[in-house]
């Protein structure tokens, strides 16, 4: 991450890291620049080109007018409509900058004496380091414009910085000149399906999405002989080729840099997502139906240029963490123990197939779901990333519900870098989803220009009692300790929780299956359907549903458990509020006390846990399918009960070359902060192994 510097900035030089910097263009729209400040367009074009060449995030802010044609946004760039003077008020921009890890802003546009400087001042209050590009900003009154800029650079940079754009343009030209020409299609060996590789190849115009489709199906056919049952419904090669050709035709003549963010990217979805015209089974044949409408999360991927390859296997009705509860066959983890190659290891569930097809590099990414760990555990068992966002932030419409109030869609991908970029595509508020959270209701983090490594962060680990109760395998215990050395080396400051502070997580875990929350599964699937078809369920699944039906829960027990859940949620989110500034709304109360209650006086940025306590074989799981499955979720069950966000990241291997996953957990709404820390860990781990990561 090379730092760039504007040496001509006032009051002194301004430095920034491109990947953590956004260019904010304010009101570059018809009615303003084309009539009153027409000279702003040419210089803005050069700045925009430089910012794109450097990989800066781009934000277009407008106020009720169409943007100038020459400055129109490219696919994937942020566009906000501002109702007020600043581009922050009631636009959700701060959250979108958090999602991208932005800490620095380069601000340009009109008018300097109004929206530009107002935006800079509010951004500064939110923690962002800001620099106004003076020759890309314009005003309507020269004296006001000069006074506004002078005020911004006064007081030693406490308000902000200002600089001409020449150095930015020079940096951009240098970056463009240094870029190697896109390789020819012949250089692609048909195996690398990561986002960066495919997008680089597509920019070269030598590789076609149809080439990728052929390669994907060739790989799928070969892998099916090695590890079958990952797919529930595989679309035909001709069908997907037709989609790929339609994509090529649609974007013929379009500049390669203007392709949508998932152009030609192959992906899969768990068979609990509806896709119009395809059957949804949730691995339960009696439940099967043909969808007439596509789930919004899948639609977002398709509209961004993604190519749907098929639907993946899963634990029946999303009931399980093992991946061993499907009547349609059981895939195994993509990993085999070096000393026991004949043993098949659990793929993890319930998003088993999605994790396997990503882990085997059959697709670039997959969508899954996560109620109690169903996206994180299979990710860990297949050596990939599994991201469980704050529930209610991704649409749950068109997804077969497990426990609807606790469900969320998840993203499975090979790296944190790729997962974050896919998240940007699907992270949209769905007003038609009854459980959707209004983005304005979620906490915000003050930006820290130093970044994660320089600023450091605090992290918590479970108490000794919880680690003992989890029954970690010796290999996983050693791997966890080793991973924590990397967390410390990247700036983490550890706080080992005591039993009182960790109690909310224990309570939440108990509530999920031992309390009345599990009754929601009956409500979601339907009591009549379950009673009528339970004999046709996969045996273990049927047994679990029968146990719930046989419970003698009293009506008031539901409310009792809801009260326990509410209090545990408050305490857990307060504990994990260390990175939340005054904007977050979870700080001290009016009386000056934190209101956290016993055992929660300390706050940290993130909780760090093993994703799972051990990795069983399929045979071992089948010998003890209920108790062992429950034990797998000891560090994931609490996530959605407590309204937290979490991500499982590959953290090396244990004896025999089997994967180990480390899970980072943050408070609700702090998904962007979660990604910042996970990205830093991924890079630190790669550096410790002498590898490079994006």
Q: In the chain, where are the structural domains located? A: 4-178, 185-378+397-421
The tokens of 215 are what? 């390669």
Q: Is 8 helix (H, G, I), strand (E, B) or coil?
A: coil
Contact 349, 325 (CB under 8 A): yes
Beta bridge partners of 137: 109
pLDDT at 587: 37
What pLDDT is stored for residue 30 in this prediction? Answer: 55
Q: Which residues pair with residue 130 across a beta bridge?
A: 105
Active site residues: 270, 350, 374
What is the number of alpha carbons within 13 Å of residue 49 lying toward its C-beta?
14
The segments of the chain whose pLDDT lies below 50 read 582, 584-600, 692-694
No. of helices (H) and no. of strands (E), the chain: 24, 21
pLDDT confidence of residue 257: 84
> pLDDT at position 588, please?
34
**What's the token pair of residue 57?**
């995030």
pTM (two decimals): 0.94
Domain at 185-378+397-421: CATH code: 3.90.1300.10
Architecture category of domain 4-178 in CATH: 3-Layer(aba) Sandwich (3.40)
pLDDT at position 15 is 97
Q: Which token pair is 11?
A: 């009051």
> Are 4-178 and 185-378+397-421 in the same CATH fold?
no
Instruction: Provide the 3-class DSSP secondary structure of residue 590.
Output: coil
Quick one: tokens of 486? Answer: 């990397």
**First-to-final CA distance of the chain:** 10
Contacts of 574 (CB under 8 A, 6+ apart): 586, 594, 595, 596, 597, 600, 603
């Amino acid at each position: 991450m090379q730092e760039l510097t504007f040496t001509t900035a006032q009051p002194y030089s301004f430095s920034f890291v491109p990947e953590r910097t956004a260019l904010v263009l304010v009101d570059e729209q018809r009615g303003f620049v084309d009539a009153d400040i027409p000279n702003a367009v040419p210089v803005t074009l050069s700045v925009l080109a430089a910012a794109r060449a450097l990989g800066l995030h781009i934000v277009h802010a407008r106020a009720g007018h169409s943007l100038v044609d020459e400055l129109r946004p490219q696919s994937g760039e942020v566009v906000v409509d501002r109702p007020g003077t600043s581009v922050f008020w009631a636009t959700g921009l701060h959250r979108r900058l958090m999602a991208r890890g932005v800490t620095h802003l380069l601000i340009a546009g009109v008018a300097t004496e109004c929206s530009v400087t107002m935006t800079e001042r509010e951004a500064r209050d939110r923690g962002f380091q800001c620099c106004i590009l003076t020759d890309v900003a314009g005003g309507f009154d020269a004296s006001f414009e000069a006074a506004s800029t002078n005020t911004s650079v006064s007081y030693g940079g406490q308000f902000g910085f200002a600089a001409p754009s020449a150095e930015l343009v020079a940096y951009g030209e240098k970056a463009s000149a240094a870029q190697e020409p896109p390789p020819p299609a012949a250089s692609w060996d048909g195996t690398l399906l990561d986002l960066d590789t495919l997008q680089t190849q597509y920019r070269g115009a030598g590789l076609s999405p149809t080439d990728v489709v052929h390669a994907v199906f060739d790989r799928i056919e070969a892998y099916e002989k090695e590890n079958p049952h990952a797919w529930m419904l595989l679309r035909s090669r001709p069908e997907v080729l037709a989609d790929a050709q339609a994509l090529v035709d649609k974007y013929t003549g379009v500049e390669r840099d203007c392709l949508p963010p998932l152009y030609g990217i192959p992906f899969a979805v768990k068979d609990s997502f509806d896709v119009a015209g395809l059957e949804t089974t949730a691995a339960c044949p009696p439940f099967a139906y043909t969808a007439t409408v596509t789930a919004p999360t899948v639609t977002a991927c398709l509209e961004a240029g993604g190519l749907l390859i098929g639907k993946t296997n899963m634990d029946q009705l999303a009931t399980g963490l093992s991946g061993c509860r499907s009547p349609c066959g059981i895939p195994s983890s993509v990993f085999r123990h070096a000393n026991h190659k004949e043993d098949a290891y659990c793929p993890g569930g319930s998003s088993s197939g999605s994790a396997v097809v990503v882990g085997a590099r059959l697709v670039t990414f997959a969508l899954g779901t996560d109620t109690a760990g169903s996206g994180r555990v299979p990710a860990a068992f297949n050596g990939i990333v599994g991201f469980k966002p704050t529930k209610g932030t991704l649409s749950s419409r068109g997804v077969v519900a497990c426990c609807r109030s606790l469900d969320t869609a998840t993203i499975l991908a090979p790296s944190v870098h790729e997962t974050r970029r896919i998240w940007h595509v699907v992270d949209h508020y769905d007003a038609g989803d009854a459980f959707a959270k209004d983005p304005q209701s979620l906490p915000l983090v003050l930006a820290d220009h130093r970044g994660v490594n320089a600023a450091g962060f605090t992290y918590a680990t479970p108490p000794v009692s919880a680690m003992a109760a989890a029954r970690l395998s010796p290999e996983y215990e050693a791997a966890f300790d080793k991973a924590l050395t990397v967390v410390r080396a990247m700036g983490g400051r550890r706080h080992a929780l005591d039993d009182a502070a960790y109690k909310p997580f224990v309570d939440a875990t108990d509530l999920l299956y031992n309390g009345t929350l599990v009754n929601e599964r009956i409500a979601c699937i339907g009591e009549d359907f379950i009673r009528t078809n339970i004999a046709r369920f996969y045996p273990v699944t049927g047994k679990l549903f029968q146990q719930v039906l046989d419970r003698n829960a009293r009506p008031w027990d539901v409310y009792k458990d809801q009260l326990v859940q509410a209090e545990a949620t408050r305490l857990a989110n307060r504990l994990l509020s260390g990175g939340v500034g005054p904007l977050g709304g979870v700080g001290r109360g009016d009386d000056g006390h934190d209101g956290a209650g016993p055992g929660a006086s300390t706050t940290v940025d993130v909780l760090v846990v093993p994703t799972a306590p051990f990795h069983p074989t399929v045979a071992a799981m089948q010998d003890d399918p209920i108790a062992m499955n429950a034990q797998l979720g000891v560090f994931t069950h609490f996530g959605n009960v407590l309204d937290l966000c979490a991500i499982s990241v590959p953290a090396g291997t244990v004896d025999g070359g089997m994967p180990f996953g480390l899970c980072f957990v943050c408070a609700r709404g702090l998904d962007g902060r979660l990604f910042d820390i996970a990205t830093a860990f991924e890079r630190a781990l790669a550096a410790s192994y002498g590898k490079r990561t994006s």
